[in-house]
Amino acid sequence: MPRVGILTGGGDCPGLNAVIRAATRSALNNSWEVVGIKNGWKGLLEKETQILDMRSISGILHRGGTILGTSRTNPYKNEGDSEIAKNNFKELNLDALIAIGGEDTLGVANKLSEEGLNIVGVPKTIDNDLNATDYTFGFDTAVNIATECIDRLHTTAESHHRLMVVEVMGRHAGWIATFSGLAGGADVILIPEIPINVAEVCQIIKNRHARGKNFSIIVVAEGAKFSKSQEILQDGELDEFGHVKLGGIGQKLAKLIETNTGFETRVVVLGHIQRGGTPTAYDRILATRYGVKAMELVFNKKFGRMAALKGNHIVDVPLKEAIAELKTVDEKIYEIAKIFFG
Ligand code: F6P
């Protein structure tokens, strides 16, 4: 029986289990054996695996997180690890591997594929910043959660006549901020792509209040920066891919706005709530389509490629293209959001 491995790497994301279920069902239907590799690339380095059968994927479609576990392990960080990964691929008798992840996990997948392993990719991240696909799964769920939170913040902000600064995820791109801000009727949306001009933000708020409004909602992506300065960090730690821990821009911004406008301001950091829990119906379907496509690529030996969404079609693109650059927020969408500022 041919064997396919599946792993999930990087930050977890609603819909991971739906991809695992879809790829496994598709493989089993075609008499392939499926090996779940635990905790991302760490599991390949340590040969930590579990067989995935009908029983293990039963009842997981609606479950958040990943039944395989995840990690931010980078097999190209320590010398010799990538050789161990390639060796273990052989020892596990894998004919192919499906890597479900964002830029880091798929960056590793691309290198291993260039070095001869049979790998295909599935695009995952709530941040939606992966290139070569219109949407990643998990993004819709994160946007829905953030939108619901903004709706709830409206009523408390209005009752207390306050400003609310809502910090959402988005390391390099402000997709969640833009979409949830647009859907939730935010009065200002701040994203990593455009440096924050505090004076301008305060003026928008002052104008709004001069019009008779006595509350405002400001959505800020965690990776947003003040002009000519660095991102705001939780601490100095770096992960294995060299990423910093973002967080704190909401707090800093709230202080500046409160001082400048004189309006009482509160901060809400949504954090990992955006990543946990059950996926939306849209994400379950998108993730399922990606999982089926990934196995189709394996059956057809189209390695070094990634399942992607283009318009309403699931297509395949080179892994290299997916990681070539980050997909930042579409200016046209941000321009639409700006119409409602103030
Ligand atoms: O999944 C991407 C992301 O949500 C980023 O927006 C965020 O900076 C990062 O993950 C935080 O992840 P963790 O706390 O798991 O390191």
Compute, in angstroms, the gap from residue 87 CA to the centroid of ligand 1.
30
Q: Percent of the chain having pLDDT more than 70?
A: 100
According to CATH, the topology of domain 142-275 is Rossmann fold (3.40.50)
Sign of CA dihedral 287, 292, 298, 302: negative
Backbone phi, psi, residue 290, to 5°: -65, -40
Q: Which atom of ligand 1 is nearest to the CA of 169?
A: 6
Look at residue 224 and tell me whether its pLDDT is greater than 90.
Answer: yes
The pLDDT of residue 227 is 81
Looking at the chain, the domain(s) classified CATH 3.40.50.460 span: 142-275
Compute, in angstroms, the gap from residue 214 CA to the centroid of ligand 1.
34
Compute, in angstroms, the gap from residue 163 CA to the centroid of ligand 1.
26
Q: Catalytic residue, from 12, 104, 127, 129: name it.
A: 127
Q: Whose CA is nearest to atom 1 of ligand 1?
A: 11
Give the strand pairing for 233-238 and 244-246. antiparallel
Strand, helix or coil at 252?
A: helix
Looking at the chain, the domain(s) classified CATH 3.40.50.450 span: 3-137+279-322
**CA-CA distance, 85 to 92, in Å (whole number)?**
10
Residue 229 banded pLDDT, cuts 50, 70, 90: confident
Pocket test for ligand 1, best of 137, 139, 225, 275 (most atoms within 8 A of CB): 275
Residue 237 banded pLDDT, cuts 50, 70, 90: confident
Give the strand pairing for 244-246 and 49-52. unpaired
Residue 133 banded pLDDT, cuts 50, 70, 90: very high
**CA-CA distance, 163 to 156, in Å (whole number)?**
10
Q: Which atom of ligand 1 is nearest to the CA of 170?
A: 6
pLDDT tens-digit readout, 64-77: 999 999 999 999 99
Rounded to 5°, angle at Cα 318 from 316 and 320? 150
- Per CATH, domain 3-137+279-322 is 3.40.50.450: yes
Please state the rounded mean pLDDT for residues 215-237: 89
Q: Which atom of ligand 1 is nearest to the CA of 126?
A: 1
Measured from CB, residues less than 6 Å from any atom of ligand 1 are 11, 125-127, 169-171, 222, 246, 275
The pLDDT of residue 103 is 96
Compute, in angstroms, the gap from residue 5 CA to the centroid of ligand 1.
25
Compute, in angstroms, the gap from residue 234 CA to the centroid of ligand 1.
12
Q: Which atom of ligand 1 is nearest to the CA of 13?
A: 1
The pLDDT of residue 327 is 98
Look at residue 233 and tell me whether its pLDDT is greater than 90.
Answer: no
Look at residue 309 and tell me whether its pLDDT is greater than 80.
Answer: yes
Pocket test for ligand 1, best of 171, 220, 222, 234 (most atoms within 8 A of CB): 171
**CA-CA distance, 329 to 342, in Å (whole number)?**
21
**CA-CA distance, 259 to 257, in Å (whole number)?**
5
Compute, in angstroms, the gap from residue 1 CA to the centroid of ligand 1.
38
Q: Percent of the chain having pLDDT more than 90?
A: 94
Q: Where are the beta strands (DSSP E) in the chain?
A: 3-8, 33-37, 49-52, 96-101, 119-123, 163-168, 188-190, 216-221, 233-238, 244-246, 265-269, 305-310, 313-318
Q: Whose CA is nearest to atom 10 of ligand 1?
A: 11
Helix, strand, coil percent values for the chain (each to nearest 5): 40, 20, 40
Catalytic residue flag (residue 127): yes
Q: Whose CA is nearest to atom 12 of ligand 1?
A: 11
The pLDDT of residue 57 is 98
For the chain, give me the number of helices (H) and strands (E)? 11, 13
Please state the rounded mean pLDDT for residues 306-325: 98
What is the overall mean pLDDT for the chain? 97
> Full-prediction pTM beyond 0.75?
yes
What separation in angstroms does the CA of 100 have from each of 44, 208, 323? 14, 44, 13
Q: Which atom of ligand 1 is nearest to the CA of 138?
A: 1
Compute, in angstroms, the gap from residue 65 CA to the centroid of ligand 1.
13
The pLDDT of residue 247 is 83
Look at residue 228 and tell me whether its pLDDT is greater than 80.
Answer: no
Q: Which atom of ligand 1 is nearest to the CA of 125?
A: 1
pLDDT tens-digit readout, 144-197: 999 999 999 999 999 999 999 999 999 999 999 999 999 999 999 999 999 999
Pocket test for ligand 1, best of 16, 39, 127, 179 (most atoms within 8 A of CB): 127
The pLDDT of residue 155 is 97
